[in-house]
Structure 1
Amino acid sequence: MKLGIFGGTFNPPHTAHLIGAELVREKFYLDRILFIPTYIPPHKEQPEISPAARMRMLHIAIEDNPYFQLLDLEIKRREISYTVDTIREIIAKNPGDSLYLIMGTDQALEFREWKEPETLLTLLEFIIVTRPGFDRERIDKILRGKAQFFELNIDISSTMIRNRIKDGKSIRYLIPKSVREYIIANGLYRWND
């Protein structure tokens, strides 16, 4: 089985996450995309929204796609989440499967700062979701030619959504309706609608 590994804070999950995952799945003939929210990301500030709330939003966002699966491996660890530890756990549970780590160009450019990058290069392949104008040669060098590239030109980010909420602006169509309703119902990101 070909498994796409899509980790992140998903704070909140948005339509670019979902569209990107679906298009990557189709283009690279992946059997399933495993969404893995971090407990505490090693290279970012800890999210103000609880891991349980981020898990719930992600569950709501992907529940109607039979090719998407939510894994709580990193949430259950209740510590800083390192990709290499998660990949080892997935390999142990799915021996013989081919793993493809899906990430953006920013993460790819920081890859050498990750825990055990050399080990990761031996365990899986990489699918880099890019925007126009990225430095392919630099990423190829960092990932030693193990990267495949997929261009996605959708300018939506979780930071943008959080800022729009704080500024009282609409987030309609930027995130799934069910996630928007969850955010409003639970007053997340200081929603005051």
Structure 2
Amino acid sequence: MTELTPTCGRLRLILGGTFDPLHWGHLRPALNALSWLQADELRLLPSAQPPHRDYPGATAEQRLKMTELATAEFPHVYADDWELRQNRPSYTVQTLEELKQRWPQDTLVFLLGEDAIAKLNGWYQWQDLLNHAHFAILSRPDQAPTWQPEVTDFFANRWLTSPRELRRSAHGCAIRVANETYPIAATTVRHRIQQQLPWESLVPPAVAAFIQTEGLYR
């Protein structure tokens, strides 16, 4: 684990995803993390070419616009088009390295659900991820995924218990952020739109209006 020495600069939370569309299951846990971790800002990065997923139903421009609309009403929350401007697949380790170069004096905290981190050893260069950021693991009471043994071992000596500790090291640690259950998935939103079922409450109002105007997911 990185030696705990005071750092300067801002504490920036990073949440990536296809956001196809962005919904409350993305936004509410991230807003909770922003508050509980006492971070300076939260940045949502729509992914460009997700190597582990199919191509999204909305265009990159539409996904960015939905992210911008969703974040506009919340202070210290921003849409960031960094990955969309990169002409390559969206590998998290590369994004974190580049963001650290972009903000060398700041501390980055990457937000990730526990269901994803339990299988982190399947990610590209996964053991290098913490060389550039801390991890904040978004835990849910309805989820108790079984972690891969090498992932458990990797995080064994990296856990922090207080948000204040994040500002005492530049990278290399992990902290849990407890969340309520938001059983929403982008596939559910898209399916409900296709089936003409009620869906508007699953996304921020501005996103719902944009989806309707653009005729997305029909």
TM-score, length of structure 2 as denominator length:
0.81
Cα offsets for 1:78-136 (capped at 9, x unmatched) = 33111111111111111121111101123212311222212212221111112224147
Q: Which structure carries more helix by proportion?
A: 1
CA distance in 1, matches of 2:95, 2:20: 19
CA distance in 2, matches of 1:175, 1:113: 30
Letter in 1 for 2:45: I
2:50 maps to 1:23 = no
In structure 2, list runs of 5 or more residues that go unmatched.
1-9, 159-172
What does 1:7-22 correspond to in 2, within 5 Å? 7-22=16-31
Partner of residue 144, structure 2: 134
**1:154: Cα distance to partner?**
1.3
Partner of residue 71, structure 1: 80
TM-score, length of structure 1 as denominator length:
0.91
On the 8 A contact 1:121/1:143 being kept in 2, the answer is no
On the 8 A contact 1:140/1:147 being kept in 2, the answer is no
CA distance in 1, matches of 2:59, 2:153: 36
Tell me the matched-pair count: 190
Larger RCO (alpha carbons 8 Å, 6+ apart): 2
On the 8 A contact 1:14/1:176 being kept in 2, the answer is yes
In structure 1, list runs of 5 or more residues that go unmatched.
none
Larger Rg: 2
% of aligned pairs identical? 28
